[in-house]
Amino acid sequence: MSDNKKESVTNRLYQYGIADAFVGGIYKGTLPLKDLKRKGDFGLGAPDMLDGELTILDGKVYQTKATGQTIEPGSEFKTSLSFVTFFKPDTSFTIEKKADDKLLLGQISKAFSNKNGMYAIKISGKFSHIKTRAFPPVKEEPFPALTSIFDAQKTFDISEKEGVLIGYHLPEYLNGINIKGFHFHFLSTDKKYGGHVLDFTGEHLKIEIAELKGFELETSEHKDFQNFRFNTKGNEDLKRVEKGE
């Protein structure tokens, strides 16, 4: 067992970066992958300067680029936004019949005992069809908001591949910090195909779920993040309690 594993705590979510800032254009990688791996062996993230998607499985990091190529970047390569955990499932079941994403995710939701819980999810098996995407790299500042470059994203239709979906289901209260609901990346067994999952159909699927018991958030010290202007989010009840009115 590695030193990283000895220091690790299973089923605790570690997050680097803020989703709202990333969507707003904070794409510069500031956390080396060697440091990310100390925090988890399972998860997903965004590469430096947004060239594709990152998937973390069994302690290795895979980058699916906008070209469709999937590689293992070096330990000094950096991420701008990542969510990882040391994954140890506490629930598992199988679905043998062919199921699309809507049906399968509905079944998974029924397995959640805590409607406000954080869950890491692994789905492995054969996918008759899976659609993924990856964003191209950005180069010139000021960087555009992610929503403004949807037309540049590359999509991939993958057929008859065995592989794994790596992802999370997170509660409403983390939205903006992270992304509420389901969020998955795909990695094929042969490590040639991947990306952010848009839809899928699979069969003979094994579903493994871990409820995450803690949350650690770390943010960048880079000036771009420090100067980023977040949209104001009001909560009148909290404001009243704070002021005693």
Residue 66 backbone phi and psi in degrees, to 5: -65, -20
Q: Which two tokens stand for residue 156?
A: 């991939």
Say whether 67 sits in a helix, a strand or coil: coil
How many beta carbons lie within 10 A of that of residue 130, not counting itself? 26
129: nearest Cα among 206, 65, 183, 203: 203
Q: Which two tokens stand for residue 219?
A: 């943010």
Give Cβ neighbours of residue 8 (< 8 Å, ≥ 6 apart).
38, 39, 40, 41, 86
Distance CA 44, CA 57 (A): 9
pLDDT for 142: 87
Q: What pLDDT, in 10s, does the model give residues 107-149?
A: 999 999 999 999 999 999 999 999 999 999 998 888 999 999 9
Pairing outcome for strands 214-218 and 12-16: parallel
Domains along the chain?
3-243 (3.30.1330.80)
Percent of the chain with pLDDT over 70: 96
Distance CA 91, CA 60 (A): 23
Pairing outcome for strands 78-85 and 31-32: antiparallel
pLDDT for 2: 43
Half-sphere exposure of 232 (CA within 13 A, CB side): 3
Mean pLDDT of the chain: 94
Residue 150 backbone phi and psi in degrees, to 5: -60, -35
Percent of the chain with pLDDT over 90: 89
pLDDT for 239: 73
Give Cβ neighbours of residue 118 (< 8 Å, ≥ 6 apart).
13, 168, 169, 170, 171, 174, 211, 212, 215
**Alpha helices (H) along the chain:** 3-7, 19-23, 33-36, 101-110, 223-226, 236-243
Q: What pLDDT, in 10s, does the model give residues 56-114?
A: 999 999 999 999 999 999 999 999 999 999 999 999 999 999 999 999 999 999 999 99
Mean pLDDT of 11-28: 97
User: In the beta sheet, which residues pair with residue 95?
Assistant: 205
Question: Is residue 19 exposed (0-12), middle (13-18) or buried (19+ Cβ within 10 Å)?
Answer: buried
Distance CA 30, CA 16 (A): 9
Half-sphere exposure of 227 (CA within 13 A, CB side): 3
Name the pLDDT band for 235 (thresholds 50, 70, 90). confident
